[in-house]
Amino acid sequence: MKKLLLAIVLTLAFAVPALAGSGELYLYIWSEYIPDEVVENFTKETGIKVHLSTYDSNEAMYAKIKLAGDGYDLIVPSSDYVGLMRRQDMLLPLDKSKLTNFPNLSDKFTDQPFDPDNTFSVPYMWGSTAIAVNTGTLGEAAVTSYADLWKPEMNGRLLLPNDPREVFAIALKSLGYSLNDTDPAHLEQAYQKLKALMPYVRVFDSDSPKQALLSGEVSVGVIWNGEAYIANQENPEIQYVYPKEGFSMWMDSLCIPKGAKNLDEAHAFLNYLLRPDVAAAISTEMGYSTPNAKAAEFLEPEVAGNPIVYPDAATAAHGEFQDDIGEAMKLYEDYWVKLKGSND
């Protein structure tokens, strides 16, 4: 961390020129998702005062923006909500001429289906949802694919996310479909497959699934990599497996909502976050992966070399981002209620 701070201090020499109007910036973001130092340094460099407010879910953020409308200059929705808010005309297009650091992003993360050409969004952090296995209780080779979750020895030892999209992604991927599939026949197949899996589930948890793994209540869980990273630090026997069939990836992007007033400040902040040293500082502090390709040289080797945080290119190519699926969500929800009901 010290090294990084030093790097940040050194790069202050090449700081972005301060803006004429020392303005304000209202950032609406997940809690604890941006280090205080990063924000403070931005204020030091530009004189722009950043006001943070936080939300706990995409739904909450969406509700607030939809209802209250103005007052926020930057929001950080997940990929499917970028798609949704883009289609509902709730976002402002970005002025790319002000984002000189945009090319620092790896093209693996730009130009995604949920926002072609990144007209509205700048990738901030990304990660994956895959399988955490306690190799101490299940053995090294117990799980290599989603199909292995249906093995009888998983009975009563399985944790799934409390989220219909993530759970359907497991079945859809193991059937060879896209996790954004909306074909009712495919969803029916996925539902039938999941019905067979339900008796094995001991816990549904999206908030802090690492706890159940660490306490030994479950031995295998479909969780996201940030949680797996912490669990693995606490107990090295808990390993993270990228399933063969492919897996779901999540990405949070920065967007400017309609009704934002401080557009220059917002663009200045976006461009600042796109700097390799800043992106690396955020990634190291938070334990999530940065989509910034040039940040690698600033990362601590133990983070950059950890496959839980940075899977190799071949593995990452199997990942797929969630997009908004519109009307099909109702089908998902109906099946979800049936599945959860059958589990009581």
Which residues of this protein are in contact with other proteins, per CB under 8 A?
Answer: 26, 28, 30-33, 36, 51-57, 60, 64, 67-69, 71-72, 207-208, 210-211, 214-215, 226-227, 230, 234, 286
Q: How many CB atoms lie within 10 A of CB 285?
A: 16
Q: How far apart are CA 276 and CA 296, in angstroms?
A: 8
Q: How far is the C-alpha of 321 from the C-alpha of 247, rounded, in Å?
A: 9
Looking at the Cβ atoms of 33 and 102, the one nearer to other proteins is 33
Tokens read off for 94: 């970005």
Q: How far is the CB of 260 from other proteins (least distance, A)?
A: 10
- Which residue, chain included where needed, has tokens 């959860």? 340
How far apart are the C-alpha atoms of 192 and 169, rounded to whole Å? Answer: 14
Give the whole-angstrom CA distance, residue 248 versus residue 10: 38
Closer Cβ to other proteins, 192 or 208, answer by number: 208
- Counting DSSP H helices and E strands in the chain, the numbers are 14, 11
In the complex with other proteins, the residue whose CB is nearer, 107 or 207, is 207
Q: Give Cα separations from 76 to 58, 70, 194, 212 (angstroms).
A: 9, 15, 31, 28
Residue stretches of the annotated binding site for spermidine: 32, 163-166, 322
Q: Output 12 or 68, the one with its CB closest to other proteins.
A: 68
Nearer to other proteins, 36 or 140 (CB): 36
- Minimum CB separation of residue 238 from other proteins in Å reads 11
| Residues near 142 by beta carbon (within 8 Å), at least 6 away in sequence | 133, 135, 148, 151, 153, 220
CB-based contacts of 81, cutoff 8 Å, min separation 6: 58, 61, 62, 324
Half-sphere exposure of 192 (CA within 13 A, CB side): 6
The least distance separating other proteins from the CB of residue 37, rounded to whole angstroms, comes to 10
Concatenated DSSP letters of 57-111: SHHHHHHHHHHH-SS-SEE--BHHHHHHHHHTT-EEPP-GGG-TTGGGB-TTTSS
Measured from the CB atom, the residue of 189 and 206 that comes closer to other proteins is 206
CB 234 to other proteins: min, Å:
5
Least separation in angstroms between CB 175 and other proteins: 29
CA–CA distance from 21 to each of 43, 80, 258, 262, 263 (Å)?
Answer: 13, 35, 21, 10, 12
- As measured in angstroms, the least distance from the Cβ of 272 to other proteins is 18
Which C-beta is closer to other proteins: that of 51 or that of 87? 51
Vertex 336, ends 331 and 342: CA angle to 5°?
A: 135
Least distance (Å) between residue 144 CB and other proteins: 27
